[in-house]
Amino acid sequence: MCGNGGMKPRHGDLFATDLDKATLLQYIDRILMFYIKTAERLQRTSVWMDNLEGGLSYLQDVIINDSLNIGAELEQQMETVIGSYQCEWKTTLEDPQALKRFRHFVNSDNADDNIRFEEVRQQIAPATAPVKAEAINIISSRSA
Amino acid sequence: MSQQSSPVTQQAVAQDWHSICPASELVGNAGICALIRQQQVAIFYLPDENAVYALDNYDPIGKANVLSRG
C-alpha cells in the first residue's frame, strides 16, 4: 500500500498477508477512513504515510492491532458513507422537480433552435457559425 | 442595430401581456426561459423584491441562448 507513480515514484509497502476476505475489507475500510481523517486534502497516500510518525509500522499498529481503539468507529463511519451514497444522476432522473431544470423553455417542449450540429468524420460536432447561420436562414424563410 | 441579436419586437412586447406559466414555475433568484412569439426571453424572479425581470435570452458575445441560465 501507499505506492505512488508520477514525479516522485514510490514502491508500495507490504502491509499484511494471508488475510481472509472479511478481514481484508475491514482493513481497507479502516485505512481509507483513517486516511480521510488524518491526511491533508489531496495528499497522496505515500506522502501521508511517510509523514506519519512511525510510518508503516505505526499504521499497522493502528489498523491491525487497533492501538488507538478507533477501529470500530472507523468501520461505522465507512458504513455510513456507503449507506448514504446516491447517484446524483439517478436521483435527478427520478425527481420531476429537478428535471425541470433541464428544459430549455418553461412554456414549450421545443428545443433551442440555435443549437446545431454538423457532421465531421462521421461524428456530430457543434456547427461552425456559417453553417449555423445558413440553417437558421432556411428555418426563417420557411416560417416567413 | 443587429438584426439577429435583437429580434424581439419591442413595441409588440410593450403593448401585449402574455401568459407564460404559473408563478410556481418561476425559480427564486434564478432564471427560466420562455418562448414568446418565437423569441426566447429570459425571465428572472426575485422573491425578496417580489419582482420579475425579463431580457433577451441571447448572449451576443457567446452567440448562444443562455442568459436565463445566469
Looking at residue B40, the DSSP 8-state letter turns out to be: E
- Per-residue pLDDT tens digits for B21-65: 888 888 889 899 999 988 999 999 999 999 999 999 999 998 899
Q: What is the ipTM of this complex?
A: 0.72
| Nearest-neighbour CA in chain A from B40: distance (Å) | 8
Which region holds residue A64: left if phi is over 0, alpha if psi is between -120 and 50, else beta?
Answer: alpha
Look at residues B69, B7, B61 and name the one whose alpha carbon lies nearest to residue B44.
B69
Which residues does chain A have within 8 Å of residue B64's beta carbon, measured at their own beta carbons? 114
In chain B, where the domains are located: 10-69
Does domain B10-69 fall into CATH 2.102.10.10?
yes
Contact with chain A for residue B30, Cβ under 8 A: no
Distance, in Å, from the CA atom of A30 to the CA atom of A81, rounded to the nearest integer, reads: 13
Q: What pLDDT does A124 receive?
A: 93
> What are the extents of the domains in chain A?
21-85, 89-143
- How is residue A134 written as a grid cell? 445558413
Quote the pLDDT of residue A96.
87
Q: How confident is the model at residue A98 (pLDDT cuts 50, 70, 90)?
A: confident
The percentage of residues in chain A with a pLDDT greater than 90, rounded to a whole number, is: 71
- Give chain A positions within 8 Å (CB) of B38: 143
- The pLDDT assigned to B34 comes to 95
Could A106 and B25 be called an inter-chain contact, meaning their C-beta atoms sit closer than 8 Å?
A: yes
3-state DSSP assignment of residue A93: helix
Residue B64 Cα distances to A42, A128, B4, angstroms: 36, 12, 12
- The answer to whether the CB atoms of A129 and B63 lie below 8 A apart is yes
